[in-house]
Structure 1
Amino acid sequence: MPKPKNSAGRNLPQAIGVGVFLALLVIGALITGPRGWYPLVAAAIGVAMWEVLTRLREKGYVVPRTVLLLIGQAMVWVSWPYGTEGLLFVFTIGVLLLMFGRLFHLGAATAPKNYLRDTAVGVFVLAWIPLFGAFAAMISLLSTWDVSGSLFILTFMLCVVASDTGGYFAGVMFGSHPMAPAVSPKKSWEGFGGSALFGIITGALCLQFLLQHEWWLGVILGLTLVVCATLGDLVESQFKRELGIKDMSHLLPGHGGIMDRLDGMLPAAAVTWLLLSLVGA
């Protein structure tokens, strides 16, 4: 075996223990379908939003944390009975509340400070976390006459795990060409190649044997998911770089915060729902 070129960058025993715990939670939610999956996604979205909004407030951004947390939860839960129409409706209400609320934050007689900055970052958070997260929740609502929603969730999670595993292994063992050194120095093209290889293979196998569909759609799913997950990682890296922080929180030993685990998964969930909607409805 070749010697690793790079350090893992974290406490592996802690990370593995926490990873096993999270995997058990996901497995429990998988078994029960939407009734278990929706609460798990909603809880993760709520904690991730709290982490991000708290870090923003610590750095001087004026964001209505409680209002945004409530709007985020409403976006996730309304997607169960009303789908994308309900999701878009609540998201629009949230944007309007941000635009108008910040306008009169200091009263009608005083001009708001940093209006564009704070309004824009609030809309960004709503799109980044609960909007993408709602698509992750809605994957559980996909089904066909012989394939349950749980198998659609399993397909998504297996592709995510494969992408993370392939990227981690290839990055640690072979990573030497930085992908975006100005944003994330540890992200390498070798790691991306490992993610793509594992993601494509897993996507093809899942579509063929779990969802009873053409394998080539799984290839598209695997590659698209990896691209979105990688870019999602870079987005969070730049977000933390601008705030001058390493992790969103220390809630998960060896991993950082909940958002540090969801950064790539959230945009990947949106494209996964879109592609898998071609299979189940």
Structure 2
Amino acid sequence: MDSPPDSGRIRLPQPKNSAGRSLPVAISVGVGLGALVIACLVIPYAWYPLIAVAMGLATWEVTRRLGENGYDIQFPVLLLCGQAMIWLSWPFGATGLLSAFGVSVLVTVVARLFHHGRTVKPENWLRDAGISVFVLCWIPLCGGFGAMLSLISSDEVSGWAFIGSFMLCVVASDVGGYASGVFFGSHPMAPAISPKKSWEGFAGSVVFAAVVGMVVMVTLLKYDDPVHYLLGLGFGAGLSLCAILGDLVESQFKRDLDIKDMSAMIPGHGGMMDRIDGMLPAAMLTWVMLNAIS
């Protein structure tokens, strides 16, 4: 009896879920963004301007979307305060960043109080002031920690290696979660917040990022003792968890506003916040962890 024509062939797993975007466009644009990041790591003093521009664009996206949905958010105030937080972290480190954040909160709250002048009663002041402070925490504060990664240094490792370690772990989390979710995703993780996220994708994100974290700890950061192997696994896994939580926060933000993307600024990726939502909280954790072990 003749065997079926397909017998003996190796069958690759087929995707169970749709990616939801044009993959060729997303990949090509992602490669271009990666090249821009690498260029800013190589060019002296280019990292801070890159972060400052990215945080400014992200702030514009968020405030524009909030304004479209009835929130009275003062973009010029948030932009200036956010830029002050980022740039003051360069000469003064965490002290400059956190001090500027404290002043920015006060300025933002008072500016919203008198947004329509002294003679007009503020409407929805508590709501708008609260979400303005949230935006300061979400974007420039986390971005400031990402900028300060370039200031970390040790005897054998320069700032670009710390930034590269952070970026590689977050990208590994995205790639691992994407591949696992598309091919194996069956069990929704948080359907009320992000219906497409699955526990299979979550596992892929954490495992892949943990492995990459161990590799970068040994190669880029040049820690070669067994304790740091374990720290590397924890480092990668921790950044993956932060990236996932950051993505869930943005998903709920968009769900509240009933929008799909923050903007169409980056073809194949949506807006700036759609691209960096997971990186922002991960940057803060990276700065804390690397300062603790370096």
Normalised by the length of structure 1, the TM-score is: 0.97
Cα deviation digits, residues 231-270 of structure 1 (max 9, x gap): 1000000000111110000011110001100111100110
In structure 2, the residue matched to 1:215 is 229
Matches within 5 A, 1:65-104: 65-104=75-114
Aligned with residue 25 of structure 2, among 14, 19, 29? 14
In structure 1, the residue matched to 2:240 is 226
Letter in 2 for 1:128: W
Letter in 1 for 2:42: I
The Cα shift of 1:41 comes to: 1.0
Distance 2:209 2:104 in 1: 34
In structure 2, the residue matched to 1:27 is 38
Higher CA-based Rg: 2
Distance 1:176 1:145 in 2: 47
Matches within 5 A, 1:31-70: 31-32=42-43, 35-70=45-80
Distance 1:218 1:233 in 2: 22
Letter in 2 for 1:16: I
Aligned with residue 205 of structure 1, among 215, 240, 264? 215
Distance 1:140 1:215 in 2: 23
Aligned with residue 237 of structure 1, among 251, 273, 293? 251
In structure 2, the residue matched to 1:166 is 176
SS at match of 2:186: coil
Letter in 2 for 1:238: Q
Letter in 2 for 1:96: L
- More deviation, 95-104/221-230: 95-104
SS at match of 1:278: helix
Distance 2:103 2:248 in 1: 29
Distance 2:119 2:79 in 1: 28
Is the Cα contact below 8 Å between 2:262 and 2:271 reproduced in 1?
yes
Matches within 5 A, 1:114-193: 114-193=124-203
- More deviation, 180-189/90-99: 90-99
The Cα shift of 1:107 comes to: 3.0
Provide structure 2 residue ranges, at least 5 long, that are not aligned to the other structure: 1-11
Cα deviation digits, residues 90-118 of structure 1 (max 9, x gap): 11111111221222223333321001100
SS at match of 2:239: helix
Percent identity over the alignment is 59
Distance 1:54 1:227 in 2: 28
Instruction: State the superposition RMSD in angstroms.
Output: 1.0
Distance 2:116 2:40 in 1: 44
Normalised by the length of structure 2, the TM-score is: 0.93
Distance 1:69 1:102 in 2: 14
Distance 2:179 2:132 in 1: 35
Cα deviation digits, residues 195-243 of structure 1 (max 9, x gap): 1111000001111121122221111111111111101000000000111
In structure 2, the residue matched to 1:265 is 279
- More deviation, 21-30/101-110: 101-110
Distance 1:168 1:196 in 2: 12
Cα deviation digits, residues 133-183 of structure 1 (max 9, x gap): 011111111110111111111111111111111000000000011110000
Residue 285 of structure 2 corresponds to residue 274 of structure 1: no
Distance 2:107 2:220 in 1: 42
Count of aligned positions: 279
- More deviation, 97-106/204-213: 97-106
